[in-house]
Amino acid sequence: DAKTTQPTSMDCAEGRAANLPCNHSTISGNEYVYWYRQIHSQGPQYIIHGLKNNETNEMASLIITEDRKSSTLILPHATLRDTAVYYCIVDAWAGSYQLTFGKGTKLSVIP
Amino acid sequence: DTGVSQDPRHKITKRGQNVTFRCDPISEHNRLYWYRQTLGQGPEFLTYFQNEAQLEKSRLLSDRFSAERPKGSFSTLEIQRTEQGDSAMYLCASSSRDSSTDTQYFGPGTRLTVL
């Protein structure tokens, strides 16, 4: 079973910030939080990951709460091309290298 | 910057036939993964290679499935005696052992339809 909980779907107006939440209350101290997205009929695309500090790259920002039980992916200026399913994954690092995907959040960016 | 490539992108076959898919990872990556994704679901792990060694297999990988990575570079996934339930997107990913966090990068996938 996935170790994360995400809303099934969200809408965001084009040009606005999209804030995608994820709960991972059972995360272990050495587990990372990864975010991927999947645009229809394509392979998942890596976005960002973090351990406990907030992270930013050219695609997004990742905010992790101090207790590490939840995180938020922020797309600062959403475009129509950001419409996708977004997956929050806790890295099953210890003894296994598989990524366990849940059903993710379907983000629809609306003109 | 060459990413993960997969071939073919689409495959339609009749039930009972054998199919083989190929994955070419990012050149410096020594870890390679196969996942399967059915409609409306997230990808599910199938198997994992480190160099040429197959180190982990999911219970989803039935006896009809076999994966190889003979020289630690490209990999093949073969499905024998295909069934309609094998219809899915087959995804390949690769990562580098040298990376502290082992980020996996995915290919575009091979969509299999079994008639």
Half-sphere exposure of A24 (CA within 13 A, CB side): 32
* pLDDT 10s digits, B61-101: 889 999 999 988 999 999 999 999 999 999 999 998 665 66
- For residue A56, list its beta bridge partners: A61
CB contact under 8 A, A32 and B58: no
Q: Which value, in Å, is the radius of gyration of the alpha carbons in chain B?
A: 13
CB-based contact, A2 to chain B, within 8 Å: yes
The two tokens of residue A63 are 């905010």
Nearest-neighbour CA in chain A from B35: distance (Å): 9
d(CA B90, CA B107): 10
| pLDDT, tens only, B14-50 | 999 999 999 999 998 989 999 999 998 999 999 999 9
Please judge whether B42 and A93 are an interchain contact, meaning their C-beta atoms are less than 8 angstroms apart: no
Q: Give the distance from residue B91's alpha carbon to the nearest chain A alpha carbon, in angstroms.
A: 7
pLDDT digits (tens, 9 = 90+) for B49-64: 999 999 989 988 889 9
- As a whole number of angstroms, the distance between CA B101 and CA A90 comes to 12
Residue-wise pLDDT tens for chain A (111 aa)? Answer: 558 999 999 999 999 999 999 999 988 888 889 999 999 889 999 999 998 889 999 999 999 999 999 999 999 999 999 999 999 998 755 446 788 898 899 999 999
**Interface touch A87/B108, C-beta < 8 Å:** no
Q: How far apart are CA A32 and CA B1, in angstroms?
A: 26
Cα distance between residue B114 and residue B14, in whole Å: 5
